[in-house]
Amino acid sequence: MPSTVTSRRRQLGNEIRRARVAAGKTQQAVAQLLGCSQGKINKIESGIVAVKNTELKRMLEAFGTGKAEADVMLDLARSSTSPRSQWSGYRSAVPQWFRTFTDLEPAAAEILSWHGERIPGPLQSEHYMLTQFSEDRATDVTALVRNRLDRRQVFDLPRPPYYRFILSEAAFHRMPGGPNPSVALDQVEHLLDLQQRYPRAYVHVLPFGVRLPYVPNDFTMMRFSDGTKDFVFVEHVAGGLYLDDEDDFDLFNDAWDRLRGAAMERHDTVEFLQHLADQFRAQVTF
């Protein structure tokens, strides 16, 4: 499993947090030590921003960290420095708040993703992408499409994560810009092809007729086997939230289990999509 800059930075943040707690120090106390804000310490421990080598050494000294543990953390710090060009060119179109997600996506062991009204990026066909960006009047359509295609490469890794999607039936009827059987047909056929080609990518449809008290907002859970802390990503109109508190994670895990229990099995989903493709095909005017 590949290890990314961001996954190493999150590993380092977790180690710093553990060392700080073991030393009985608060984030505010560490902030005073470094002459920065408590918010910066929180971002360092969350892996959102990198820590300077001099800052890390001061923290390790204040924590009384042993040499062996300190050497591991210093090595993580050296390897977690992001190349300047990482987000240049067409990749600069990725918003800042989403870069941690895309960087960690290939490093995850398992990804569980629920979407109620739309098709998520890695599953989108090019026709769906182009229609969505055009309807949104995006000015950098080429860069946005290239980024989406880059994310799709996660399925082609030598050992890709187990990527499991639950999609509401509504996502196949709410096309970008309104009803469009041509876009819908292309999207459904793309999913059928993906299911056949990638055995570690699972798509499950949540049909309208299931009994659930409610459906939650969209969310994605990432689990790791390399020491990176598991987290939940929740996207909203102003950005996204990364939640790695264990109690929060358990709540989302329960929500996922309820959705998964009500959703179709993989083979039933394939039959459902084949039937849906026939319906959309009959509506397309050639």
Answer whether residue 76 shows pLDDT above 90. no
What are the structural domains, with CATH classification, of the chain?
A: 5-80 (1.10.260.40), 92-283 (3.30.870)
d(CA 26, CA 205): 45
pTM over 0.85: no
How many CA atoms are closer than 13 Å to the CA of 286, on its beta-carbon side? Answer: 4
Output the CA–CA distances (angstroms, integers) from residue 42 to 37, 66, 79, 96, 106, in the order listed. Answer: 9, 23, 20, 17, 25
pLDDT band at 86 (very low <50, low <70, confident <90, very high): low
9-32 pLDDT, tens per residue?
A: 877 888 899 899 999 999 999 999
pLDDT, tens only, 180-218: 999 999 999 999 999 999 999 999 999 999 999 999 999
Strands 201-206 and 219-223: unpaired
Q: Is the separation of the CB atoms in 155 and 122 below 8 Å?
A: yes
Residue 4 — very low, low, confident or very high, per pLDDT cuts 50/70/90? Answer: low
Residue 198, SS3 per DSSP: coil
Q: Please state, in angstroms and rounded to a whole number, the distance separating the CA atoms of residues 93 and 90.
A: 6
In the predicted structure, residue 84 carries a pLDDT above the cut 60: no
Which residues in 9-84 belong to E strands, given as ranges?
none
Kindly report, residue by residue over 260-286, the tens digit of the pLDDT: 999 999 999 999 999 999 999 999 986
Residue by residue, DSSP assigns 116-139 as: SSS--GGG--HHHHHHHHHHTT-S
Residue 183: alpha-carbon gap to chain centroid: 25
Residue 3's pLDDT is: 47
Task: Using alpha carbons, select from 197, 222, 190 the residue that is nearest to residue 100.
Answer: 222
Question: For residue 242, what are its two tokens?
Answer: 């990364």
Question: Does 46 or 51 have the greater pLDDT score?
Answer: 51
- Determine the Cα–Cα distance for residues 61 and 144; give it in Å rounded to an integer: 45
